[in-house]
Structures are given as C-alpha cells and as structure tokens.
Amino acid sequence: MDHTLLILGLLKLEEMHGYQLGDLIDKRLKYLTDLKKPTLYHLLAKLEAAGQVTKSVSREGNRPERYTYRLTKTGEAQFKELLRQNLQAAHAAYFNDDIGLLFLSEIPAAEARGYLEQKRAGVDARITEIAAATARHDAGSPAYYTLRHHELHLETERAWLAELIAHMKKRAARQNIIACLAEADTPKRKK
C-alpha cells in the first residue's frame, strides 16, 4: 500500500517517465522508502492494469521508446483513499535490526559491541545528513516534517544504541532467546 501511495502521489504531482520516477525515488526519497526500480515497474504495470494510470509511448531520434505515466481519475480517487488510510492509521514499526538483536548473545560481547559501535557511527552520519536536508526546507512544509520525523527516529536510535552498548559492556552470559520469548509471553503472577 505505501509504495502504491507513493507512486500515485508522485504521478498526481506530474506525469513522468518510469526512469524519472525511479531516479526521483532513488535520489530524493531514499530516506523514505526502499522501493527498487524492478518493483516500481511491476507496480506501474499493476496500476495500469487496474486503470489507475495510463501509459503513452514516445521516442526521440534513435533513442529507445519511453513510457510516460499519467494518473487517471480512478488513480486519483485511489490515491486519496490510500492517503486518508495512511494518515489515520497507527503503523507498527518493524526494524530489520531487531532480527539480528534476537541473536546478539550468539557472538562474543566485545565483537557485538564493535558492530554496534559501527552502527552508531552510521546513525550519527545519517543524522547529520538528514539534519542538513531538514534545514534546507521551510519549517511547516511537508518535506520538513517528513525529514524531521526521520531525524527524531534516528536520534532515538542513537540514544538506544548508547544504552545497548553500555549494557553489552556488562553482559557475560549467553542467553537462550527461545526461553526469553516464552518468558515474555507468560503473565507475571501477583505476589
């Protein structure tokens, strides 16, 4: 749904060639989505089949044919519906990093700390990059708030990593993650 909303929204702003959409996403919206070009073209084909976008063919000189995508009235209605759903829903956050954290105790603590320090350095660099991008936009603009949202998440990530790294300095024993998960599912008895 999010990728569809993004594509329909961008095409609502202006008609574009598929590669223009892909470049815009890769260069300007990489902080927002992991949408790759093959998936983009697959979704464009689905949206065309659903009557939400149309595709026209053009050619300049000896260059290959290019397809220009335009939003239809059906696509605009779908965009507005997806936008409303997106804005009102409380989305669960899934972090790919958490999968690795489940198995953190499977490697020596010192080694794990080293990886987490590298991650924190990457988060620091990303915060600097996002903060610079945020500063280029007027406070109150949609771009500002989108970037600020990411900046705040990254600042929280940095604080959480500092806490985890400090904890890792004290960790000595390997933990059984299956037992930990089972324990988390068991209600605590009142004393």
Residue-wise pLDDT tens digits, 124-168: 999 999 999 999 999 999 999 999 999 999 999 999 999 998 888
Alpha-carbon span 74 to 89, nearest angstrom? 23
Residue 59 near residue 6, CB atoms below 8 Å: no
Indicate the residue among 25, 55, 88 that finishes a domain.
88
Alpha-carbon span 119 to 134, nearest angstrom? 22
Instruction: Find all residues with CB under 8 Å of 24, minimum gap 6, and list them.
Output: 10, 16
Residue type, 90: A
CATH at residue 38: 1.10.10.10
Indicate the residue among 35, 69, 88 that finishes a domain.
88
105 plus 176 within the same structural domain: yes
Residue 171's pLDDT band (cuts 50, 70, 90): low
Q: Domain range for residue 138?
A: 97-185
55 plus 9 within the same structural domain: yes
Token pair belonging to 162: 């500092």
Residue-wise pLDDT tens digits, 77-133: 999 999 999 999 988 888 888 888 888 888 888 898 999 999 999 999 999 999 999
